């Protein structure tokens, strides 16, 4: 016993109790909006508890009426019993309806809020989590909370009311019987304390393993072409079976504990029940109580035992809710992006959309969260009506620089500004709000499921068919889209399915042009195209009268001949190359 006390004191010192309290408060912020529904739910539940109690008393009266042959009271008592039974069925259905409706509302609100907050979380700390883990936290953990919080407080009140009312009835008729019926309570409390720490550990292990399985499944189906191409099907089947084995072993370990606990508690319950039966039979035999009263005692004994088990069984439910809340809080407590300057940037763009915008970076330092230094004292400049190229070996930081430009990553030092070409003093400071000034075509296939037109209208919902066709022509995508039976209404599969890599790149560029942002970023966006098509697209982009600033990353020297300036990323810096250096690069 001393070791048990020391264990719980140690857990409290470790902050587990404080942690559970903070998680409970966090859950409360979502539930408090539905207090009225929860109160109604609880009230109806208490009404059902009262109805059940009345039915138990009527059941006692029916038994006594039959055994004592009081025919005059039989019909009235029987009608009342049937009426209360029907009323109890209606109450039960109303409870189920309210529970389902409010649960869906809470689940939707929690998931939509968490979905938005995850998207608003800064990119770099979020990238430390596997997408499968994020998906598990968003779906499974949010559902655990929404399903649990609605029923937990009402069920606590309802079960407690059942326990107290049943105890009061039994105490009123026979205190000795009440003490005997509650003999299993100390055992239940001891067992619940024993299971507490094991339940916490199980929930964390189970959630972590579920996240790993979700990530494995997601990656498998996303890369099924690669798996087939490398003949990796047997390997992935073995890996899945290993995950399933690990999950089975985890469940088996805790299932054995659950079975042993259930058997022990069942024996205790049977011992208490049979003792109650024996006492009831003895009291009836000696004429102390009637048959009906014995029936009432046995019914109340079952209610006491059942509600006590329900109350102790709510402990694991509470642990599950707080564990899920903690997993979500890990994500939602990360630093959030600030979009408070969105309107200011919007006004800035309207003032300067006809003159174009310059991008200027000076003395910028950036290092990853793990401490790896990527840039040190880097400067970069791009102006309207020109293409600026970023070159350098893979892994030197070209994509990272574009992410910094997009305010997806935050440098530790330096100045970054966007200003009007003709008015240097009219400038805007860097924040996530500046992304509305950019169009971005990242590496890889980034098309969404849906039609070509729907993909275009994702960035400009009001776009006409003519505007869509014009952007497709500028990106040299119209030459294959117009040949399709459905034209711009042709379906695009997941990750650009149904189109070649080069075609998907041209569609991605068309979508970026549709946004018509003053600054266009192309990250190896033409790598799957032939040189002639690549040059045509870039020339189409720049011959547009719109004052666009275009920044491209590329490994192709041929692109450099149409670039106004070329920057090479080397030695953690961004160096502007001279015309001679560019010419030498072309020859080499």
User: What tens-digit pLDDT sequence spans the chain (588 residues)?
Assistant: 445 444 444 544 445 667 777 777 777 777 777 777 778 778 877 887 788 777 777 777 777 777 766 666 777 777 887 887 888 788 778 777 877 777 777 778 778 888 888 888 888 888 878 777 888 888 888 888 877 776 777 888 888 888 888 778 777 777 776 676 666 566 555 655 555 556 556 666 777 777 777 778 777 877 776 677 777 788 888 888 888 888 888 777 766 666 666 666 666 666 766 676 677 777 777 777 777 777 777 777 777 777 777 776 677 777 778 888 888 888 888 888 888 888 998 898 888 888 889 999 999 999 987 778 889 999 999 999 888 989 888 778 888 999 999 988 889 999 898 988 777 788 888 888 998 999 998 887 678 888 999 989 988 889 999 999 999 999 999 999 999 899 999 988 877 777 888 888 899 999 999 988 899 998 888 778 888 888 888 888 877 778 889 999 887 777 787 888 889 888 888 888 888 887 887 777
Asked if residue 569 lies in contact with residue 392, where contact means CB atoms within 8 angstroms, the answer is yes
Paired tokens of 508: 């991605």
DSSP state of 337: P
Closest by Cα among 509, 503, 575, 578 to 548: 509
Query: What are residue 549's DSSP bridge partners?
Result: 386, 519
Residue 189 is predicted with a pLDDT of 57
Closest by Cα among 456, 459, 462, 458 to 481: 456
Query: What are residue 259's DSSP bridge partners?
Result: none
DSSP state of 302: H
Asked if residue 439 lies in contact with residue 519, where contact means CB atoms within 8 angstroms, the answer is yes
Fold of 342-447+519-587: Rossmann fold (3.40.50)
Residue 489 is predicted with a pLDDT of 92
Closest by Cα among 569, 506, 519 to 386: 519
First to last CA, the chain: 79
Residue 72 is predicted with a pLDDT of 67
Paired tokens of 75: 């019909």
Asked if residue 455 lies in contact with residue 511, where contact means CB atoms within 8 angstroms, the answer is yes
Asked if residue 389 lies in contact with residue 566, where contact means CB atoms within 8 angstroms, the answer is yes
DSSP string computed for 165-210: HHHHHHHHH-HHHHHHHTTTHHHHHHHHHHHHHHHHHHHHHHHHHH
Residue 12 is predicted with a pLDDT of 44
Task: Round to whole Å and give the CA distance between 330 and 323.
Answer: 11
Residue 48 is predicted with a pLDDT of 77
Asked if residue 536 lies in contact with residue 343, where contact means CB atoms within 8 angstroms, the answer is no
Q: Give the predicted TM-score (pTM) of the model.
A: 0.71
H/E run at residue 362: strand 357-367
Task: Round to whole Å and give the CA distance between 380 and 359.
Answer: 8
Residue 473 is predicted with a pLDDT of 92
Fold of 2-332: ABC transporter transmembrane region fold (1.20.1560)
Asked if residue 452 lies in contact with residue 492, where contact means CB atoms within 8 angstroms, the answer is yes
Q: Where are the domains of the chain?
A: 2-332, 342-447+519-587
Q: 521-537 burial string, b = 16+ CB within 10 Å, else e?
A: bbbbbbbbbeeebbbeb
**Which residues, including other chains, have CB under 8 Å from residue 155's CB and lie 6 or more apart?**
45, 310, 314
Task: Round to whole Å and give the CA distance between 397 and 392.
Answer: 8
Residue 5 is predicted with a pLDDT of 45
Closest by Cα among 432, 421, 410, 439 to 360: 421
């Amino acid at each position: 016993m001393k070791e048990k006390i020391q264990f719980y004191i140690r857990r409290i010192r470790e902050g587990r109790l404080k942690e559970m309290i903070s998680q409970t408060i966090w859950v409360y912020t979502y539930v408090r909006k539905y207090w009225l529904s929860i109160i109604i739910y609880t009230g109806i539940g208490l009404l059902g508890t009262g109805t059940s109690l009345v039915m138990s008393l009527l059941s006692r009266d029916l038994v006594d009426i039959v055994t004592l042959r009081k025919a005059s009271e039989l019909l009235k008592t029987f009608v009342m019993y049937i009426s209360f039974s029907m009323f109890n069925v209606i109450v039960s259905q109303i409870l189920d309806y309210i529970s389902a409706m409010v649960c869906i509302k809470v689940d939707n609100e929690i998931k939509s809020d968490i979905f938005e907050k995850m998207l608003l979380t800064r990119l770099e700390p979020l990238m430390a989590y596997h997408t499968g883990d994020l998906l598990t936290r968003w779906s499974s953990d949010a559902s655990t909370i929404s399903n649990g919080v609605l029923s937990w407080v009402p069920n606590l009140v309802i079960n407690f009311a059942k326990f107290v009312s049943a105890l009061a009835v039994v105490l009123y008729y026979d205190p000795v019987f009440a003490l005997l019926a509650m003999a299993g309570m100390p055992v239940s409390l001891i067992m619940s304390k024993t299971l507490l720490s094991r339940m916490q550990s199980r929930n964390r292990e189970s959630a972590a393993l579920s996240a790993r399985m979700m990530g494995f499944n997601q990656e498998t189906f996303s890369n099924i072409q690669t798996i087939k191409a490398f003949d990796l099907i047997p390997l992935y089947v073995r890996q899945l079976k290993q995950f399933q084995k690990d999950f089975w072993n985890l469940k088996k370990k805790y299932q054995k504990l659950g079975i042993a606990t259930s058997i022990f508690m069942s024996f205790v319950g049977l011992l208490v029940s049979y003792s109650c039966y024996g006492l009831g039979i003895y009291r009836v035999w000696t004429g102390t109580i009637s048959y009906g009263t014995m029936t009432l005692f046995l019914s109340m004994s079952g209610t006491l035992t059942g509600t006590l088990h329900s109350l102790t069984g709510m402990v694991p439910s509470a642990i599950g809710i707080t564990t899920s809340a903690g997993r979500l809080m890990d994500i939602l407590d990360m630093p959030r992006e600030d979009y408070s300057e969105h309107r200011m940037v919007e006004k800035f763009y309207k003032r300067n959309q006809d003159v174009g915008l310059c991008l200027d970076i000076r003395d910028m330092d950036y290092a990853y969260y793990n401490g790896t230094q990527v840039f040190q004292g880097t400067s970069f400049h791009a102006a309207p009506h020109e293409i600026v190229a970023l070159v350098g070996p893979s892994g030197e930081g070209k994509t990272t620089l574009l992410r910094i430009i997009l305010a997806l990553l935050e440098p530790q030092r330096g100045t970054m500004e966007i200003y009007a070409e003709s008015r240097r003093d009219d400038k805007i400071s860097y924040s996530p709000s500046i992304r509305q000034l950019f169009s971005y075509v990242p590496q890889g296939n980034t098309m969404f499921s849906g039609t070509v037109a729907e993909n275009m209208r994702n960035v400009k919902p009001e776009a006409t068919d003519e505007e869509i066709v014009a952007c497709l022509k500028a990106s040299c995508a119209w030459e294959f889209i117009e040949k399709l039976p459905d034209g711009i209404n042709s379906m695009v599969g997941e990750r650009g399915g149904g189109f070649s890599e080069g075609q998907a790149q041209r569609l991605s560029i068309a979508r970026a042009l549709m946004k018509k942002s003053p600054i266009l970023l192309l990250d190896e966006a033409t790598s799957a195209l032939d040189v002639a098509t690549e040059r045509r697209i870039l020339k189409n982009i720049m011959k547009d009268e719109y004052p666009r600033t275009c920044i491209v990353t590329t490994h192709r020297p041929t692109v450099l001949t149409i670039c106004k300036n070329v920057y090479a990323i080397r030695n953690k810096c961004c160096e502007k190359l001279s015309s001679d250096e560019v010419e030498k690069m072309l020859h080499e």
